Every structure is written in C-alpha cells, then in structure tokens.
Amino acid sequence: MTTERGPQRADGWTAAVRQRLGLGRLLPLGGAVDGTWIAETAAASVLRGAAVEGAVLGTLRIGPARAALDADTRAEAGGPVGAGGPARTGGPAAVVAVPPAPPSGLPPGPLRIEAEFRAAGDRPLPDAAAALRAALVTAAAARLGLDIVEVDLRVTALFDDAAPDQVTDPPAPAPAPVGKADGPAGEAAAAVPGVVSLTRVLGSPVHTAEDHIRVEVATAVDRRALDVARSVRTAVSAATGTGLPVSVLVTDVVETVGGTR
C-alpha cells in the first residue's frame, strides 16, 4: 500500500543513495590503528591539484593495490599472507582497539591509483608520466596520508601546448550536507583545527554504536587530512569518555575563506 508520504520517503531514500554513491570508495587513511577513512572523491579532488606541466589528468580512481588483493586471495585460500591480523603492541593482551570500517569502507592497506591523462605533444611521454606519477604519490602522502604504492597511468590523447582551450578540468563534486555539531562528541570534533564542518552523508554526523563511535567531517585543503582525522579521534575520545574506539570519515576536503584555524 502506498501512503501519501510514500513517494516523499522514496525520494529521500533515492537522494541518500545517490549522495552515498557519490563518495566513491571509502579509502583507509594511515595505518590499521589510525581508524580513519576518506572518500575517494575527496581524495581525487586534492590529487588533481598535483598535475604537472605537460599533463592533464582525466579519470582518476583509487583502490586496493595488487599486492593487497593478492594477499586477500591467499587468505581466502588458506595460504600464508605475511604479517596480518590484529594490530598489537606486545603480547596477546596488548591488542590495540581498532574501530570497524564504515559501511563498504576498504580495509587498511596499500592503495593503487589508476588515472588517464592527456600529454603535451612536445614532451617525451615517459618523462611526463614519470613526473605525474611522482607528483601523485607525493601529494597523496603529504596532503592526505594515503599509502599509495602503485600508480597506473594511461595516455588518452596528445594536445598542442599552444591550445589552452583543450585543457579542461572535470567539474568538482557537490559538497556533502552539513551536520550540526550536537552533543559533546560533535562539539569536540567541530572544534578541532582543520575541521571545516561536520557532514552527514552516511547518516548522523556522530554515529554511536555499542562497540564504536564514527564521526563524519569535512577538512580544510591546507591541512593534511590524516593529521586532522587523528586529532578528531583524540578529541572525541576525550569528550565522550566511554572508552569506545572512534573512527573518522573525511567526506570532503574543501577550500576555506581566510585560511583555517
């Protein structure tokens, strides 16, 4: 039976699904004990600023490295996977409490960039590819905190350096909805330097479950996303005092007017 509010609910559900899919993959930031993730679209928006002279980025995707996928395959087959399992700081009793990944978030591990680019016709292609690869790896580590170990580039076209009209950037994704800094956890997260706002793509800006707390934030482009997310974890843990592990999802990395705090 369809009620009067049925279509409205369906429209709201559809919009939520589209917003969630618009994040792309949820990528691990830092290591296994960091408990932080970033939306693929947010990471890509930063990496596009790393383009070098003579190369124009097109499609860019970030996902698990081949080595990580091979390890997962060996684990499913029951073979050796090397140093894996829970993060530990000592003996069996010293297991670090790591919050679960957000829904559909990738597990911590090395990542791979796959990108297409157009290259200037007056420059050797291997040189352009090498410069772009180095710029992407450096930006991923220094500005975001992503562990990029593989970069696969593909040249899709050559352009005349004297024709700037051929150089276009893809449109930026729409910003995530802003969430209200409600409660001690939200207020603590919002007060962290480098946090532009709380967001609510997966639901409430602060999601509290029986075994963990998850916070969504948008961070400033002039701050390393991993450092901000770590600070959010520390602030929320102190503010709540529950002892629950805290995870942070960075849904956007944005420009701010007048710089960050």
CA distance 236 to 10: 34
Domain 174-254 has CATH 3.30.70: yes
CA distance 172 to 39: 14
Q: Tell me what the mean pLDDT of segment 83-97 comes to.
A: 47
Q: Given the structure tokens 């993959």, which residue do they identify? A: 25
Q: Would you call 187 exposed, middle or buried from its count of C-beta atoms within 10 A (0-12, 13-18, 19+)?
A: middle
CA distance 154 to 145: 24
pLDDT tens digits along 37-73: 999 999 999 999 887 888 889 999 999 998 765 555 4
Which pLDDT score, from 0 to 100, does residue 22 have? 73
Which pLDDT score, from 0 to 100, does residue 163 have? 45
Which pLDDT score, from 0 to 100, does residue 112 have? 97
CATH 3.30.70 residue window(s) in the chain: 45-83+102-166, 174-254
CA distances, 46 to each of 31, 51, 95, 181, 248 (Å): 20, 10, 34, 25, 18
Domain 45-83+102-166: assigned CATH number? 3.30.70
Q: Global pTM?
A: 0.80
Q: Among candidates 170, 154, 65, 173, which has minimal Cα distance to 115?
A: 154
22-26, 168-172, 188-192, 239-243: least confident range:
168-172
Bridge partners, residue 32, by sequence:
none
